[in-house]
Structure 1
Amino acid sequence: MRVKTALLGVASLAFASQAMAQSTTRGEDGNLNILFWQAVSILNPYLSGGTKDVEASALVLEPLARYDENATLIPWLAEEIPSLENGGVAEDLTSITWTLKEGIVWADGSPVTANDVVFTWQYCTAEGMGCAQEGKFEGVTNVEAVDDRTVRITFGAPTPFPWVAFVGGQSPIIQAAQFADCLGAAAAQCTEANTKPIGTGPFQVTEFLPNDVISFEANPNYRDPAKPAFATVTFKGGGDAAAAARAVLETGEFDYGWNLLLAPDVLASMEAAGQGQIVSAFGTNVERIEVNLTNPSPDLPEGERSTVAHPHPFLTIPEVREALSLAIDRQTLVDVGYGETGRPTCNLVPAPEIYKSDDAECAAAYDPERAMQLLEQAGFTDTDGDGVRENADGLRLSMLYQTSTNRVRQDFQALIKEWWEEIGFEVELRNVDAAVYFGGDPASPDTIEKFYADVEMYANTFEGTDPTSYLAAYTCDKIPSPENNWQGQNMNRVCDPAYEEMLAQFQGTADQEERSRLAKALNSYLTIENHIIIGLVDRGRVSAHSNTLGGVRLNTWDAELWNIADWHRLDN
């Protein structure tokens, strides 16, 4: 059966360059100052699920293809996007063949070959690796070099949407020579490679201070001799969103501020200073609460906390999870934290429309009375009058609720704590510095992967328009654990054969109507039906840049810094 590429969400195979007035000499615009209030911990997306680490890595590491700001799939290191029409996608949908652009070299001047692509797959899938982006290679059975510039990816079953592996900022190509001794459990120990990767991007690292600042310089071997316009980049981390916004919009100290998680009236007052401008767009970014299905109790031995060997004592009860969801007034959260840049949601996948579940009823539901009824049905009552429910065995509904340190998130925590305590929970709040929380350090007890809390809150997104790898994150083999260095995307520890069977059907069908139905069913399983993930707000991405910075094209479908090679200084 012939499947048209456009049907699968790839709107165009050509990249129409945007005309812009910019420098024609590499490095003539001097230094670019970027501020991320979530400091960068590592420059290897395969060892971190943190968006801030993926973003910083995008200056150096690049994929075969990526999505532009219009959600159009475009070739990057590849010559073209493989399709059925050009022969790059097999008729039986069991393989896809990519061809590298001619003459691509690493920053050290050595050639990029198909063997580097093959090695990248071997690196992420190596035993004991615990790859943070393993979902990108779901269903891949082999990656082979046909010749120096051609690589074939083979799937175990027909794969209607094969443009996932090596596509987008989360799945870049790494240099085989640099990472050769970093396979499996050794990956986390390769400090030099993980903090100073040799890439093909417009910049290379000169100095890396984890959780603080990164210094970049223009890649002398970048394929476009006129780019990048900036000779150096100072990539500062730390502080908070308010300080980042102020440094761009009010003082002009920085050229770009990322992820400005602030109340809309605060941002508007800063923008009025006239130094910079806010840019925003909706995509697939959902602020949500993740429910831990395993027991995080510190009473358990280290290495057994938050592992599948110890189910959670009450969050494995469906009625308890539903009660938590019903007790949240999502519209109030939007009003407090986001204004016009937020929308109430219960979904994990809020876009594109063909994959979005109808969550209107759930998103509008704020019913604490019904929540209390559910807790009664589950056997939890407040028998001693202290405001906290317990069951007949004396098990109290007591939870630790963690998130990153940020004003909006702490406002959310305070509201949700109050709502949950009104229905009979005891809630302790904890906030963790974002650089640590999203850092992926297996030695830290405070990462989102280790999940030493009952519930945790954050937001992330998936690249492009197809949620295949995003939904594939919730399988048994992607649970973070001591065996995989606490890496993996399945924070909740979901392990259900029924979900995985439905996922396999989704991955294997070429019919768009059926794909839409199955994606919605997978989303609903995790959210609306089972409340394993409690969606809160469909967040528009909000950043800001100086009025003197040109070339910025805010992208919600890929790395936000995807086109930094095109950024340039505008004439005053």
Structure 2
Amino acid sequence: MRRVLTGIGSAALVGALLVGCGGSPGTDTRPTDSIILGVQSEPDTLNPVLGYAVEGASKIYDGLVAYDEKLEPVPALAEKLPQVSPDGRTVTFTLRQGVTFHDGTPLTADDVVFTYRAVLDEKTDSTLRPAYAAINEVSAPDQRTVVFNLKYPYAPFVKRTTLGIVPAKLLAGQDVNTAPFNQRPIGTGPYRVESWTAGEKLVLTANEAYWGGAPAIKRVTMAFIADDNVRAARLRSGELDGAVLPAKIADGLGELSGHRRWDNPTSDYRMISMPMNHPVAGDLAIRRAVDLAVDRDGMLRALLNGQGKPAFGLISPDAGQWFDPTLTRSGAADAAAATKLLDEAGWTVGGDGIRVRAGQRAKFTLMYPAGDSLRKDLATAAASDVRKVGIDVELVGLDWAGINPRLGRDAVLFGSGSPYDPDFDLYDSLYSALGGKGYANPGRYANPAVDDLLDRARATNDTNERVRLYHEAQRKVAADLPNIGLVFLRHTFIVRDAWTGQLPRTEPHDHGFNGIWWNLEDWTPRR
């Protein structure tokens, strides 16, 4: 049986998002039992314990639950949603019968226990550990039952159990950080790894024994192409069957015969993470001036062709009750207000037009991933906007290996965003104790009052109280401005019109197998 999808008018949603790119799919003679997809980034590892394809974005693994097209949890390796104790501190799953790993060995509760204990092990270099801080213990009373004992009621815990499950027998007794498994994994998912050529591609083949039914697309190639323009060129030439592209570049392709386009809603933001200990960017007046001076509306028009919304925080205005509506304002620049604020803070204009205070020039460095054309364009636009009010921003394009050692010392044009629960964004991005741990809290922001609000919000199951706490946290963060929000994106996908079964849904920042191909295993060839 296939994973159950709840009906919310999916056909209507597809119709609203779909834009035809012309051509007749009937003239395409390329195979439909394989697909080649162009993506921007390559994973560092294929081990979910180390952070690969979190939130169910992998085709190699399954979690205890998965997300349906409404982003609600549905059973995956679990035969049903879990039983939660009245106090919210005991969560019990029963595993689906008959599930096997790709090598034919059966899935057991011991594999689930091993996976979560490995994430929690301090010896494991897992960026996921903070996400599972609520777990006190995980145990297996029998081979089909998994029990999580929590330190406190953690409202979004079930949504965290999309974590892919690994086979204990292949990793027990090994250093998980360096195990060969990380490049040659075994999972329970609809696809198994055929090969991984670093810097080039990941090739997957169908798991014919998949508990959800064998996929119709038998071979999937993820081509790693960092440069947006190169992905577009390879899509146009027919080397790719599908790709994710910035809207501006997708528009430049024009009518691409035999393809369809989706402009997909997301929670994916772009913001400037400001280093809080920097002598200039760490000054609140500078951060407020930058926030006022950037022209978000102009960015949306010129760089995104209108595909997105202004961002004034980490929670999207489309997130319903979780977004604090008091944060909404015009996306236009207010250079006059920024100038007045800087004048009052003692930043005076120097002879070269750049402000100075106590001998310190109003200058900081803004890094961006060099191969990401949109982030480069956003960084360039932001630097131009703030220079008009006397702040000098030096732009530096680097790969992530060059950016990582400088996080916390220089500003970075960052992207992230999760549609599943506000805890996933706010806690990971703002909690003080996470500063310096991977990509969490890259600017090293620390506000004890915000920490307290986030702790309390994740520890109550009262939805109304969670909303109140998250609204208060958003207001406090908006006053501190550790991050300068720029835009929320819509992700643009162009895919060869050879398959049916696509179900667009709001997606997170992480592309992977999110976006239009989140349910690729359910696609069927167009007849």
Same structural fold, with TM-score higher than 0.5 when normalized by the shorter chain? yes
Task: Name the SS for the 1:112 alignment partner.
Answer: coil
Matches within 5 A, 1:383-532: 383=350, 385-392=351-358, 394-404=359-369, 405-433=371-399, 437=400, 444-447=401-404, 451=407, 454-464=410-420, 466-473=421-428, 474-481=430-437, 487-526=438-477, 528-532=478-482
In the superposition, the TM-score normalised over structure 2's length comes to 0.86
Deviations 1:257-293 (A, max 9, x none): 12x1131xx4245251222111122231112111122
Cα displacement (A) at 1:91: 0.8
Partner of 2:265: 282
Amino acid at match of 1:535: G
Indicate if the aligned counterparts of 2:109 and 2:144 stay in contact, CA closer than 8 A: yes
Q: Secondary structure at the match of 1:196?
A: coil
Quote the Cα distance in structure 2 between the aligned partners of 1:478 and 1:37: 27
The structure 2 residue matched to 1:94, chosen from 89, 94, 97, is: 89
Question: What aligned pairs does 1:98-177 form with structure 2 within 5 A after superposition?
Answer: 98-167=93-162, 171-177=163-169
CA positional deviation for 1:161: 3.5
Are residues 95 and 363 of structure 1, via their aligned partners in 2, closer, same or farther at CA, if it must alter by over 3 Å? farther
Look up the match of 2:69.
69
Q: Please say if residues 114 and 150 of structure 1, whose CA atoms lie closer than 8 Å, have aligned partners that are also in contact.
A: yes
Inter-partner Cα distance in structure 2 for 1:463 and 1:175: 29
In the other structure, the counterpart of 1:179 is 171
Aligned-residue offset at 1:501: 1.0
Q: Are 1:556 and 2:517 matched, yes or no?
A: no
Q: Which residue identity is paired with 2:66?
A: R
Question: In the alignment, is the contact (CA less than 8 A) between 2:275 and 2:281 conserved in 1?
Answer: yes
Partner of 1:237: 224
SS at match of 2:139: strand
Q: Per-residue displacement from partner, 1:23-69 (whole Å, max 9, x unpaired)?
A: xxxxx9532211113334432355358xxx65996021221112222
The equivalent residue for 2:194 is 206
The structural deviation recorded for 1:164 is 3.0
SS of equivalent residue, structure 2 residue 386: helix
TM-score (ref. length: structure 1): 0.80
Q: Which amino acid in the other structure matches residue 191 of structure 2?
A: F
Seen in structure 2, the aligned counterparts of structure 1 residues 99 and 56 have a Cα distance that, compared at 3 Å, is closer
2:323 aligned partner: 356
**Residues 324-363 of structure 1 mapped to structure 2, 5 A cutoff:** 324-350=290-316, 351-358=318-325, 361-363=328-330
2:229 is aligned with 1:262: no
**Distance change in 2, residues 1:41/1:542 (3 Å):** same
- Match for residue 334 of structure 2 among 349, 367, 374: 367
Is the contact between residue 100 and residue 150 of structure 1 (CA under 8 Å) also seen in structure 2? yes
Q: Judge conservation of contact 2:228–2:246 (CA < 8 Å) in 1.
A: yes
SS in 1 for 2:384: helix
Q: Which deviates more from structure 2 when the two are superposed, residues 95-104 or residues 338-347?
A: 338-347
SS at match of 2:157: coil
- Cα drift, residue 200 of structure 1: 0.9
The answer (yes or no) to whether the contact 2:319–2:419 under 8 Å persists in 1 is: no
Task: Write the distance in 1 (CA, Å) between the matches of 2:260 and 2:472.
Answer: 39
Q: Which residue does 1:379 correspond to in 2?
A: 346
2 CA distance for matches of 1:534 and 1:74? Answer: 35
Amino acid at match of 2:452: E
Question: Which 10-residue stretch deviates more, 424-433 or 498-507?
Answer: 424-433
Match of 2:493 in 1: 543
* Structure 2 segments unaligned to the other structure (5+ residues): 12-30, 509-513
SS at match of 1:315: coil
* Distance in structure 1 (CA, Å) of the matches to 2:410 and 2:435: 16
Amino acid at match of 1:261: P
What secondary structure does 2:267 align onto? strand
**CA distance in structure 1 between the partners assigned to 2:474 and 2:183 by the alignment:** 35
How many residue pairs were aligned?
A: 496
String of CA shifts for 1:492-531, please: whole Å, max 9, x gaps: 21233211211122122333222112122223333x2211
* Distance change (3 Å), C-alpha of 1:361 and 1:206: closer
Deviation of residue 552 (structure 1)? 2.5
CA distance in 2 between counterparts of 1:222 and 1:126 reads 30
SS of aligned partner of 2:475: helix
1:453 CA displacement: 5.3
| Pairing partner for 2:206 from 195, 211, 218 | 218
Please give the secondary structure, in 1, of the residue aligned with 2:356: coil
Counterpart of 2:469 in 1: which secondary structure?
helix
Give the Cα separation in 1 of the matches to 2:282 and 2:100: 51
Q: Contact 2:201/2:222 (CA < 8 Å) preserved in 1?
A: yes
Q: CA deviation at 1:255?
A: 1.8
Q: Specify which structure has the higher proportion of strand.
A: 2
- State the one-letter code of the partner of 1:161: P
- Partner of 2:525 in structure 1? 569
Shift of 1:355: 0.3
- SS of corresponding position for 2:84: coil
Query: 1:362, 1:530 → 2: CA distance?
Result: 17
Does the 8 A contact of 1:37 with 1:238 survive in 2?
yes
Q: Say which SS state the counterpart of residue 364 (structure 1) adopts.
A: coil
Q: What letter matches 1:157 in structure 2?
A: Y
| Residue 322 (structure 1) shift | 1.0
1:556 partner SS:
coil
RMSD: 2.7
Contact kept, 8 Å, 1:334 with 1:343, in 2: the verdict is yes
